[in-house]
Chains A and B, each alone.
Chain A
C-alpha cells in the first residue's frame, strides 16, 4: 500500500494534514487546533513494524461518535458495528468509576481469523500489518466469527459475507486518519507504529478490564488505563447474554454425517455392510453435505472451502468429508456391483464385472475400501470437532466436544444398521450391538452431564453463562428431553423397536447439538448496559 502521508511527511508538507480532512473546503483556521498532536504516524514503517490502534481510556467520554462515524464511513447497516463501545464500572458510591472502551479490530499479531479462514479471505497486510478481509474471497462460513476472541468479524446477512474493521485502510492510504480517529472529539483514538517483535515479548499494555486476555492472539491495540487501579472495573453487560444463532444447517449436517460414519463403522465391524445400508448411508451423507452448504452465506462458492487445508480445520473437515463421500460412493457402487445378478446388462456384466465377482482379492479390496471409508469418516468427525475447539468459544473448547461427536456417531451408529440390514445379519450380532448401544448411550449421557456440571461450576464467566443459557426454561426442557431420548435408545433397541430407537437417537443428538450451538457464549469485549440494543 502506498502511504502518501508518509511521503508528504518526508518532503515536509504535512502541516495540518492530519486533523483537517475536509481539505479545500475550508481555510485552515489560524488559531486552531491547539492540540495538533498527529493522530496517525508520519514516518515510514520500518521492517518488523506495523500500525496499531491506541485507545486512551482517560480521554474517552463514551460519546459514541466513533461508532456512528464508522458505520457512516463503511456504509454498514445498523446491526453491524465494526467499532463498538463498552462500559466498565466499579466501586461504591460516591467513589464509583465508570470507563469506556472503544474498539475496532485489534489487528493481532497471531490473528486467529487469518489462521482459521478456509478460503484465505484474510491477509495480514505485509506493509501495514492491518488484518484485511476480502468480501470477494469470503464464502460466508463465519468460522472467523467463531475464532476471534473479540467478536470483531461480523456476518452481514444481507451480503452473505463477513466484514470487519480494516483500520480505514483506504483512508490511511490517502494520508487521512481512520473515521473513528477523525470523529473522536477527545482524540482518544490514534494510530501508532508498533515494533512487532518487541510487542510479542511484552504486550501487557494490550490488557484491560472488559477485554479478553490479549495473549491468545496478541492484540496490538494499546490501551491507556485510568491511573486509579484500586477499584475493580467490571463489565455491565453480563446480565444480557443472548442465545447464539442455532445454525440449523450445521445441527443437521453434523448429526447426519456422524450418523453415517458411525453406522458404517458398526456395520463394517459386524460385517453387515449390505448394499442397501450403504445406499442409505450414501443418501444420508449426500443430504448432510448439501445441507451444510446452506450454512454458507455464499453456497455457490462452497468448493473454495478446500483451499486452506494446510492450516484451517474447516478446510480439513470439508476435505475429509469430501473424501469420505467419494469413498462411500465408490464403496456403495462396488458392493452393488459384486452382487449384481448376471441377467443385468449381460454384456457389461460378462466383460467388466463377472471376472472379478468371485475373486477373493475383490472381496479384500472392497473390505479395504470400507475400512478406508470408515477411517475417512472418523477423520472427518475429528476435524469437524476441531473446528469447535476454539479458545474464543469457551464452552465449545472442551474435550467434551470431540467426545460428544464420536459418541453421537456411536449412539446413532449402533441403531441405524439394525433398521436396514437383513434379519439374519441383525440376529447374528444383535446381542453385542445392543450392549454397544447401551454403552454408547450411557457414555453419551455421562459426557453431556459432566459437561453441563463443569460449565455450571466453572471459574470462567463464559462457561457459567453457557450453563445459565442451558438453564433457561425452553433450553432446560430441551436438555432434559435429549437425556431422556438418549436413555430411551437402548430400551427401544432391547425391546425390538429399532425404528423408535433410531428416532430417539437422532432426536437426542439433534437436540443436544441445537443446545450446543445456541448456548455458546463467545469471548467478547465488554459492551454497554443495553448491549447496543442487541436483544
Chain B
C-alpha cells in the first residue's frame, strides 16, 4: 500500500530496477544484465551459426552477447540472437506432459505419458503395420539428438516413415547437390563471400533472413575497393528485398524463371567461350548434351521468360564468366519450388563449367535455414542413412550394421515416405499415428486444410515441443514438454559445415526434459535400450558413436572432439571447402552436368485468381513464431502480418494503404490482413510473411511438391485479393 502511494506520488521511481552496474566483461550495463558467469554457446535460430556468450546469474540467462572470437559472426548478432535469453523463461513454455482424456489435455506424469505413447503407437503398429507410424523430426535438435532419434525410429519403432521439417526448407539443396556431385554437402564457406569478385544471390534475402552474413559482403566491398574490378553483388529476386537493395545489380526476374536465367547464362558463357574447358574435361560428364540443351536458351528467349533485358543477361553472364572467383548463394527462393532440386543442379552447372568450385571465393553455396538443418542431413535416417550413406547401397548398410552390431536386415533398404507424403498418408489412412518433434506444421506446412485433415485423421498424435500451446499441439493427443536451445548440450552444424557446440545455460522449466532424455526413456520402454543405446546417459555418448559412424565419410566427425569444437569456435568438416581436388563422390569421380528444362510454375494466375502470391520472412521473427512471439521486443516490432501489393494493382482494385484485405486461393482464404502498398513487389504479384498463425499464409499456399526433394512450392500460387468485410457476428 505504502509502496503504491509512493509510486503514485513519484517518490519511488523504481530506481532500483533502473540502476546500472559494471560488468567486468561486458562493461557498464543495466544491473539486471550483469552476469555471474559466461557460457559459450551457438545461436539456436538460423543456420548462420553465430557464436554467443550468454551471461547467467542465479540460474537465469540474463544477457546474450556475440562472441567476438567466433569466426562466423565476429561478435555480432541479429535481433533474434541478441534477445534469445528471453525465450528460456517465456510464459508459453511447455512445462508438463499432457494427455488427452475425454477430449481434454490433462497433466500426467512422465511415466504415464510415455506409457501411453508406447501403448498407443504399439497397438497401431500391431494393427496397421509398423509403417503406420509417421515421425517428423526437426532441424532444431542437436545432431546427437537427431542421430539418437533416427536410430530409435528406424531401428526401435521400426518405421521407415521418418522425415524432418528440413524437407520444408533445404531438401532441394540436398537433392541438387546429390544430383550434381553425388553427395550432399555445401562446397563453400562464408569466407568465400569475402573473397569472391562476383557474388550472385538467387532467391536469397540474407538481409532479412541471415543478417549476420551481410557483413561478409561489406568486408568484401572494403577489400574490393582496392582491387580491380571491384566486387559485384548480383541479386536475382522477383521482389525488391532488403538484399536486392544492397546489390550492385538487381535482377527483378519473373517468378520461377530462375532456371531459364541460369541456362541463359550458361548459354552465353559457352557462346563467348567464358568456360573452363580443362575443368569440364577433367572433372565433369554430360557437357555435350548440356551445351546442346542450353543452346535453346538464347538471351532473347531468356529475356522473354525472365522479363530482364537481353543486355542485362549478357552483362551478368560476362561478369560471372570473367570473374576470377564467382560465388552463387541461394536460399528458399530456389528451394521452395516444384523444380527446386533441378534448379540447384542448374546453379551447380554454372559453377562446374566455369570451374568456380573448390577454390577460394568460388562455390555454389546453399544458405541453410535452421540452426541444425545441416546436422540432421548428416545424421540422416530420413532421406539417406547416417554419414551421407545410401539406403540402396548394400555396402553402406553392411557397414552400419557392423558398427551398430545389429542384424543388417533391420536396416531399411529404401527411404520411407517424405514429409508431404506422410501427411498425405495420414489423410488417406495409411499413417495412423504421428509424432512431431519441435516443429509446428499447422503454420509451416502448405495448404493448411489438408494438414488439418491429417492431424485430425490419425488415431494418435504426439507433439513434442518446447512450447505449448502451439497451433499444432492444440490437436495433440499427447504433448511432451521438451527442453530447447540453452537447456541442452550437443552440436549444431551451420551452412558452411561448421560444427559448433551448443551448451546448457539453465535447467529446463517445470518437468520439461531434453529431447535426448525423452528418446532414451522411450527406448527403455520399448526395450531397445541395450541394443541401440548401450550404456548411454548423455548426448556425448551419442556423439562418440556418431564419430565412429561418420569416420571416413565426407562429414567426418572423428577428426575433432567436443572440446576442440568449442575451443576453435566450431570446426568445419571437409575443411574450408569441398572438392578442391575436383574429385566428386559420384562413383566416376566426376560431377554431372544436368540438362535442366525450364517449366512455368504450377498454378498460373488467371481471371479469377489474378495475382501471384509470394511468401517469405521478416528479420524480427523466426519461422512459426513459437519462439519470437514470446520475446516482447520482437513481437512488438512486428506484431502482425501484412500483404505487399504494387501501387498499380491497388489503384485498379481501389484499395488504400492499411485497408484490411482477404487473400483467396482455390484452397482457402486468409482473412483480415493489413495492406501495404509498395513498389517492393511487382505488379501482378503480392507478398506476405508466413510467420503468423493468426493470418496463416499457408491457408492459401499450394500443396505442390518437388518430385525429387519433396519440398513444397511455397513461393508461387494464384490468389485474388478482396477487401475484408468484417462478419456481422
| Main secondary structure on A side of the interface with B | loop
Q: Is there an interface contact between A61 and B207, defined as CB atoms closer than 8 Å? A: yes
Q: Is there an interface contact between B10 and A297, defined as CB atoms closer than 8 Å? A: yes
Q: Using A65-B82, A75-B32 as known contacts, say yes or no to A530 and B638 having CB atoms under 8 A apart.
A: yes
Q: Which of A28, A68, A158, A161 is packed against the most chain B CB atoms within 10 Å? A: A68
Q: Is there an interface contact between B639 and A22, defined as CB atoms closer than 8 Å? A: no
Q: Judge if B156 is at the interface, Cβ distance under 8 Å.
A: no
Q: Judge if B474 is at the interface, Cβ distance under 8 Å.
A: no
Q: Is there an interface contact between B65 and A22, defined as CB atoms closer than 8 Å? A: yes
Q: Is there an interface contact between B30 and A74, defined as CB atoms closer than 8 Å? A: yes
Residues of A within 8 A of B76 (CB): 65, 183-185
* Residue from the list A22, A71, A533 in contact with B25, Cβ < 8 A: A22
Q: What count of chain B residues pass the 8 Å CB interface test? A: 77
Residues of A within 8 A of B632 (CB): 78
Q: Is there an interface contact between B637 and A298, defined as CB atoms closer than 8 Å? A: no
Nearest A residue (CB) for B38: A25
* Residue from the list B75, B635, B638 in contact with A20, Cβ < 8 A: B75
Q: Is there an interface contact between B82 and A529, defined as CB atoms closer than 8 Å? A: no
Residues of A within 8 A of B78 (CB): 63, 65, 185
The complex places the Cα of A19 from the Cα of B67 at a distance, in Å, of 11
Q: Is there an interface contact between A93 and B252, defined as CB atoms closer than 8 Å? A: yes
The complex places the Cα of A65 from the Cα of B7 at a distance, in Å, of 33
Residues of A within 8 A of B636 (CB): 78-79, 532-533
Q: Is there an interface contact between A298 and B10, defined as CB atoms closer than 8 Å? A: yes
Q: Judge if A126 is at the interface, Cβ distance under 8 Å.
A: no
Residues of A within 8 A of B69 (CB): 26-29
Q: At the interface with chain B, which of A7-15, A166-174, A245-253?
A: A166-174
Q: Is there an interface contact between A158 and B14, defined as CB atoms closer than 8 Å? A: yes
| Interface members, chain B 602-647 (any A CB < 8 Å) | 619-620, 632-640, 642, 646
Residues of B within 8 A of A24 (CB): 24-25
Q: How far is the CB of B530 from chain A (nearest CB, A)?
A: 43
| Interface members, chain A 36-90 (any B CB < 8 Å) | 59, 61-65, 67-69, 71-75, 78-79, 89-90
Q: Using A24-B25, A65-B82, A299-B10 as known contacts, say yes or no to A19 and B68 having CB atoms under 8 A apart.
A: yes
Q: Is there an interface contact between B10 and A185, defined as CB atoms closer than 8 Å? A: no
Q: Judge if A159 is at the interface, Cβ distance under 8 Å.
A: yes
Q: Judge if A91 is at the interface, Cβ distance under 8 Å.
A: yes
Q: Judge if A139 is at the interface, Cβ distance under 8 Å.
A: yes
The complex places the Cα of A367 from the Cα of B707 at a distance, in Å, of 98
Q: Is there an interface contact between B82 and A21, defined as CB atoms closer than 8 Å? A: no
Q: Which of A19, A35, A65, A529 is packed against the most chain B CB atoms within 10 Å? A: A65
Q: Is there an interface contact between B38 and A97, defined as CB atoms closer than 8 Å? A: no
Nearest A residue (CB) for B223: A34
The complex places the Cα of A22 from the Cα of B38 at a distance, in Å, of 10
The complex places the Cα of A529 from the Cα of B79 at a distance, in Å, of 18
Q: Is there an interface contact between B215 and A300, defined as CB atoms closer than 8 Å? A: no
Q: Is there an interface contact between B633 and A298, defined as CB atoms closer than 8 Å? A: no
The complex places the Cα of A522 from the Cα of B619 at a distance, in Å, of 28
Q: Is there an interface contact between B27 and A176, defined as CB atoms closer than 8 Å? A: yes
Q: Is there an interface contact between B245 and A98, defined as CB atoms closer than 8 Å? A: yes
The complex places the Cα of A139 from the Cα of B13 at a distance, in Å, of 10
Q: Judge if A105 is at the interface, Cβ distance under 8 Å.
A: no
Q: Is there an interface contact between A529 and B642, defined as CB atoms closer than 8 Å? A: yes
Q: Judge if A421 is at the interface, Cβ distance under 8 Å.
A: no
Q: What count of chain A residues pass the 8 Å CB interface test? A: 77
Q: Judge if A135 is at the interface, Cβ distance under 8 Å.
A: yes
Q: Using A20-B75, A94-B682 as known contacts, say yes or no to A159 and B18 having CB atoms under 8 A apart.
A: yes
Q: Judge if B681 is at the interface, Cβ distance under 8 Å.
A: yes
Q: Using A32-B71, A160-B7, A532-B636 as known contacts, say yes or no to A63 and B79 having CB atoms under 8 A apart.
A: yes
Q: Judge if A186 is at the interface, Cβ distance under 8 Å.
A: yes
Q: Is there an interface contact between A239 and B77, defined as CB atoms closer than 8 Å? A: no
Q: Using A25-B38, A25-B53 as known contacts, say yes or no to A69 and B82 having CB atoms under 8 A apart.
A: yes
Q: Judge if B401 is at the interface, Cβ distance under 8 Å.
A: no
Q: Is there an interface contact between B77 and A171, defined as CB atoms closer than 8 Å? A: no
* Residue from the list B11, B222, B646 in contact with A300, Cβ < 8 A: B11
Residues of B within 8 A of A343 (CB): none
Residues of A within 8 A of B15 (CB): 135-136
| Interface members, chain A 112-139 (any B CB < 8 Å) | 135-136, 139
| Main secondary structure on B side of the interface with A | mixed
Q: Using A530-B637, A530-B638 as known contacts, say yes or no to A63 and B211 having CB atoms under 8 A apart.
A: yes
Nearest B residue (CB) for A23: B25
Nearest B residue (CB) for A298: B10
Q: Judge if B597 is at the interface, Cβ distance under 8 Å.
A: no
Q: Using A78-B633, A174-B27 as known contacts, say yes or no to A186 and B82 having CB atoms under 8 A apart.
A: no
Q: Is there an interface contact between B25 and A72, defined as CB atoms closer than 8 Å? A: no
Q: Judge if B33 is at the interface, Cβ distance under 8 Å.
A: yes
Q: Is there an interface contact between B240 and A185, defined as CB atoms closer than 8 Å? A: no
Q: Judge if B20 is at the interface, Cβ distance under 8 Å.
A: yes
Q: Is there an interface contact between A25 and B638, defined as CB atoms closer than 8 Å? A: no
Q: Judge if B544 is at the interface, Cβ distance under 8 Å.
A: no
The complex places the Cα of A28 from the Cα of B74 at a distance, in Å, of 10
Q: Judge if B582 is at the interface, Cβ distance under 8 Å.
A: no
Q: Is there an interface contact between A68 and B242, defined as CB atoms closer than 8 Å? A: no
Q: Judge if B676 is at the interface, Cβ distance under 8 Å.
A: yes
Q: Is there an interface contact between B22 and A29, defined as CB atoms closer than 8 Å? A: no
* Residue from the list A27, A64, A297 in contact with B620, Cβ < 8 A: A64
Nearest A residue (CB) for B685: A93
Q: Is there an interface contact between B637 and A93, defined as CB atoms closer than 8 Å? A: no
The complex places the Cα of A61 from the Cα of B29 at a distance, in Å, of 26
Q: Is there an interface contact between B75 and A19, defined as CB atoms closer than 8 Å? A: yes
Q: Judge if B583 is at the interface, Cβ distance under 8 Å.
A: no
| Proximity bits, B565-596, A CB within 8 Å = 1, else 0 | 00000000000000000000000000000000
Nearest A residue (CB) for B215: A185
Q: Is there an interface contact between A75 and B13, defined as CB atoms closer than 8 Å? A: no
Residues of A within 8 A of B22 (CB): 174
The complex places the Cα of A94 from the Cα of B215 at a distance, in Å, of 25
The complex places the Cα of A504 from the Cα of B689 at a distance, in Å, of 52
The complex places the Cα of A174 from the Cα of B637 at a distance, in Å, of 31
The complex places the Cα of A260 from the Cα of B658 at a distance, in Å, of 45
Residues of B within 8 A of A22 (CB): 25-26, 38, 53, 65, 67-68, 75
Q: Judge if B315 is at the interface, Cβ distance under 8 Å.
A: no
A binding-site residues for B, Cβ under 8 Å: 19-29, 31-35, 59, 61-65, 67-69, 71-75, 78-79, 89-94, 96-99, 135-136, 139-140, 158-161, 168, 170-171, 173-174, 176, 179, 183-187, 236, 239-240, 296-301, 528-530, 532-533, 535
| New A-B pairs, 16, CB < 8 Å, besides A65-B76, A71-B633, A161-B10 | A22-B68, A61-B211, A64-B79, A68-B634, A72-B30, A74-B18, A75-B17, A89-B678, A93-B680, A93-B683, A96-B678, A96-B680, A159-B13, A160-B7, A298-B13, A530-B639
**A-B residue pairs in contact (CB < 8 Å), sample of 18:** A21-B26, A22-B26, A25-B53, A26-B53, A26-B69, A32-B71, A65-B211, A72-B83, A91-B679, A94-B250, A94-B252, A183-B82, A185-B73, A186-B214, A299-B9, A300-B9, A300-B11, A529-B676
| Closest CB pairs A-B (n = 5) | A298-B10, A75-B30, A94-B252, A170-B28, A185-B76
B binding-site residues for A, Cβ under 8 Å: 7-11, 13-15, 17-18, 20, 22, 24-33, 38, 53, 63, 65, 67-69, 71, 73-79, 82-83, 207, 211-212, 214-215, 218-219, 222-223, 240, 242, 245-246, 250, 252, 619-620, 632-640, 642, 646, 656-658, 676, 678-683
